[in-house]
Amino acid sequence: MAEPTGTGPVTLRRSPLAHLEEPMRAASTTGPQGVALSERPFLTMVDVRVAPDAAAAGRIERALGTALPRNCGDTAASGPHVVTWLGPDEWLVLSQADGTGLAAGLREALGGDPGSAVDVSANRTTLELRGPSARSVLEKGCPLDLHPRSFGPGRAVATTVGPVPVLLWQVDAAPAYRLLPRSSFADYLARWLLDAMREYRGAAC
């Protein structure tokens, strides 16, 4: 007998912020002071741990097609992958590829040497904050200096926004930022951002 359609795990999967999709859309504005908030769910995330000077690190780099960033805030991109620095021996790989297959391929690249590659895609979700006022919104609750002289496209740093720990990544100069909170904190962070955006709703043209 054929499997019933529409009941598989992918169909039933629900993002941490699906219930706020409409409020986020309604709060987004355009114009010279516009700002928009949305969720980019189900992004593949693989946490990689390996000694940066080990032979296994080189094999990981070849598997990803890019060098592992060596400094705080740095990122590297190749094809569907973006690699963000989390610590001296830890990186988060963000990808459009299948998480299970990517993690398995990176574990194979380790070749039994010390290290790990773990699919942590379910651990976080991704919020995107975009528009001319995006930086101003973040500055209401982020301790980082977000001025372009200090933080620009391609930078990704662990910080807090409001009281919520996030990985904050500026993806372009629009500006557009992606915030990666733990899934359990995503609702609080989204509501905090919606409140911080409130003053710009009447300012857009």
**Quick one: how far is CA 78 from the chain centroid?**
16
- Distance between CA 90 and CA 96 in Å, rounded? 20
pLDDT tens-digit map of 22-63 = 999 999 999 999 999 999 999 999 999 999 999 999 999 999
Residue 13 has pLDDT above 90, yes or no: no
- In terms of phi and psi (left: phi > 0; alpha: psi -120 to 50; beta: otherwise), the region of 68 is beta
Q: What average pLDDT does range 81-109 have in this prediction?
A: 97
- CA distances (Å), origin 26, targets 22, 40, 126, 194, 205: 6, 17, 19, 10, 15
Q: What percent of the chain has pLDDT over 90?
A: 91
**How many helices (H) and strands (E) are present in the chain, helices listed first?**
6, 10
CA dihedral 102, 108, 113, 115 (to 10 degrees): 10
Domains of the chain: 18-41+125-200 (3.30.1360.120), 44-122 (3.30.70.1520)
Q: How far separated are the first and last CA of the chain, in Å rounded?
A: 57
Q: What average pLDDT does range 71-89 have in this prediction?
A: 97
- Distance between CA 19 and CA 151 in Å, rounded? 32
Residue 6 has pLDDT above 60, yes or no: no
pLDDT tens-digit map of 141-199 = 999 999 999 999 999 999 999 999 999 999 999 999 999 999 999 999 999 999 999 99
CB 71 within 8 A of CB 91: no
DSSP H or E segment with residue 48? strand 44-49
- Distance between CA 54 and CA 72 in Å, rounded? 19
For the packed helices 99-110 and 55-64, what is the interaxial angle rounded to 10 degrees?
Answer: 150
- CA distances (Å), origin 30, targets 17, 41, 131: 22, 23, 8
CB 121 within 8 A of CB 42: yes
